[in-house]
Amino acid sequence: MHILIIGAAGMLGAKLAARLAADGTLAEQPVDRLTLIDIVTPPVPPDGTASCDAHAADLSEAGTIEPFIAERPDVIYHLAAIVSGEAEADLAKGYRINLDGTRHLFDAVRAEHDASDGEYVPRVVYSSSVAVFGAPFPPRIDDDFQQTPRTSYGVQKLMGELMLSDYTRRGILDGIGLRLPTICVRPGKPNAAASGFFSGILREPIAGQEAVLPVPDTVRHWFASPRAAIGFLVHAAGLDGEAVGPRRNLNLPGLSATVADQLESLGRVVGADAVALVRRKPDGAIMGIVGNWAENFEPARAEALGFVAERSFDEILRVYLEDDAPASVRGPAS
């Protein structure tokens, strides 16, 4: 099996590549080749028996993705995007990368599908977001709640979802869209996502550094760990399309928690000294974005299809301490 990961230099892309290289299988099939693409050359996993090649390429430029699709990968992961805060700040860049790049990919698949007389129909796993929903919200968003995003990022992701569904309906590709919760705790340095503080108020204090909290403690959001997110991506590759049905974009399991819940968990798992490093500094621009995001879900379809996530924020914190925290601060989880 040949796997193409677009956005492989990002946190999830790199973790997914490492997981597939280490496992050597996907959807119960051996993985013999990994192709990794991003705007910068992605890291090549150090372990695994599959051959792996990495490339720097800009998906938003017409003609860039076609040579990679011409090799007819069996599974395509589309994880490339600019994040919410950057998409809101730079409208043209958001549409160029998040929408135009997606259309270039899907049209390249269509061209190869046509060249193969309809035989080439790859599984495409599309990374979407809970940002496709907009306020006002019910207490819990079920699988029938309408998508009415109120951010440019959410609009761009929803456009990708609609294209994925249409190209799947037409038999050009076999798509699965995953509305990812906010991934927390994200390792590494802060990024431009408006949701970045959800990780920052945990990651930085765990490392003994001050963190800024730009929203009230009462803000509620929908979370899953990086470990759960990689599980989602792996599981999606092997789903039976007939079992999914024509509605190919899924609300994924996660955990609904407030900022106060996060900080209470930080105190239990790491200690009060870590909580004391969180400094409150209100930011109306960030609150304006985050206040239009979904807070709680009832993801019955995804759970019935076998997707799973954490059930407590303590569990999410322990995943970070086990998987990504610097070795010097992993002790409190034991």
**Catalytic site positions:** 153
Give, in order, the Cα–Cα distances in Å from 170 to each of 121, 242, 281: 10, 15, 50
Query: How far is Cα 198 from Cα 214, in angstroms, rounded to an integer?
Result: 10
Give, in order, the Cα–Cα distances in Å from 123 to each of 6, 126, 212: 14, 10, 41
- Check if the beta carbon of residue 316 is closer than 8 Å to that of residue 223: yes
Query: How far is Cα 282 from Cα 217, in angstroms, rounded to an integer?
Result: 11
Query: How far is Cα 267 from Cα 241, in angstroms, rounded to an integer?
Result: 43
Query: How far is Cα 330 from Cα 241, in angstroms, rounded to an integer?
Result: 41
User: Which residues touch 293 (CB under 8 Å, ≥6 apart)?
Assistant: 130, 131, 133, 151, 195, 221, 222
Give the closest residue to 236 by CA, choosing from 302, 169, 300, 142.
302
Give, in order, the Cα–Cα distances in Å from 27 to each of 3, 17, 295, 300: 11, 15, 32, 22
Q: Could you give the 3-state DSSP secondary structure of residue 174?
A: strand
Bridge pairing between strands 75-78 and 29-30:
unpaired
Specify burial of residue 242 (Cβ count, 10 A radius: 0-12, 13-18, 19+): exposed
β-sheet bridge partners, residue 30: 25
